[in-house]
Structure 1
Amino acid sequence: MTAYAIAHIRPETVNEDVLRYIEAIQATMDPFDGRFLVHGREVEVLEGPFPGTVVVVGFPDLERARAWYASDAYQAIIPLRTDYVPGEVILVEGVPADYDAAKTAAGLREAAGL
């Protein structure tokens, strides 16, 4: 099942290290079949505060997403970003093509006794 690495970042500065990180990141994802789905785009905030921007990288599965993040190649460049760009990074598995939110709600309703 497709998995995603999602970063909520708040760029404060662009410098040589940050640019080196951006230039190097794709090569760290290639062995794990990772690809950018959202990168360098303005966000349109509809609800609540959301300072910064978002980056979304897709991977074929959660195992490859985890392996990419833990890889020596990616770990070597992380400080180029984290030393200057605060934010959070998460991994999350997607839902299947036939996902039905109403079924999820029904399960939650039953579990809660509602």
Structure 2
Amino acid sequence: MTAYGLAHLRPADTLHEEVFRYLERIQATLDPYGGKFVVHGSPVEVMEGEWPGTLVVIEFPSLDAAREWYDSAAYREILRMRADHIPGDLVLVDGCGPDHDSAALAAVLRAAA
């Protein structure tokens, strides 16, 4: 099942040179794991609540592939280039399949409540 890496990156006062080097190198770390950017720094249109910063969404063929990418030596080598200069949060999550039924999910949640 398709999985995603989602990052909520907060605004930085300035972009450090290491951030540019990170951006230049990240795609090469994704390629062996089938990772591809779906959203990468486009302006967000906040409809509810607050959203300081930008959103990054990376698609992977599976959650295992996403984990393997994040734990890879190649990504670990560049991670600090971003993390030391742009605060943010990163999560990995399974997508829902084409047969996802939100009403059925509601029934399961209702039964568990």
Q: Specify if TM > 0.5.
A: yes
Q: Does the 8 Å CA contact 1:9/1:52 hold for their aligned counterparts? A: yes
Kindly state the Cα deviation for residue 11 of structure 1 after the two structures are TM-superposed: 3.2
Q: Does the 8 Å CA contact 2:36/2:59 hold for their aligned counterparts? A: yes
Q: Secondary structure in 1 aligned to 2:42? A: coil
The number of aligned residues is: 112
Q: Secondary structure in 2 aligned to 1:8? A: strand
Kindly state the Cα deviation for residue 15 of structure 1 after the two structures are TM-superposed: 2.3
Equivalent residue number for residue 71 of structure 2? 70
Unaligned stretches of 5+ residues in structure 1: none
Q: Using the alignment, how far apart are the partners of 2:11 and 2:49 within structure 1?
A: 19
Q: Does the 8 Å CA contact 1:11/1:84 hold for their aligned counterparts? A: no
Q: Secondary structure in 1 aligned to 2:98? A: coil
Kindly, what percent of the aligned residue pairs are identical?
55
Q: Does the 8 Å CA contact 2:6/2:92 hold for their aligned counterparts? A: yes
Equivalent residue number for residue 8 of structure 2? 8
Q: Does the 8 Å CA contact 1:33/1:60 hold for their aligned counterparts? A: yes
Which aligned runs of 4 or more in structure 1 are off by greater than 3 angstroms? none
Unaligned stretches of 5+ residues in structure 2: none
Equivalent residue number for residue 37 of structure 1? 38
Q: Using the alignment, how far apart are the partners of 1:39 and 1:63 within structure 2?
A: 22
Q: Check if 1:87 corresponds to 2:97.
A: no
Kindly state the Cα deviation for residue 110 of structure 1 after the two structures are TM-superposed: 1.6
Kindly state the Cα deviation for residue 40 of structure 1 after the two structures are TM-superposed: 2.0
Q: Using the alignment, how far apart are the partners of 1:105 and 1:68 within structure 2?
A: 33
Q: Does the 8 Å CA contact 2:11/2:52 hold for their aligned counterparts? A: no
Equivalent residue number for residue 21 of structure 1? 22
TM-score (norm 2): 0.96
Q: Deviations over 1:70-92 (max 9, x none)?
A: 00000000110011100000000
Q: Deviations over 1:5-52 (max 9, x none)?
A: 000001312121000000000000000000000002000011111110
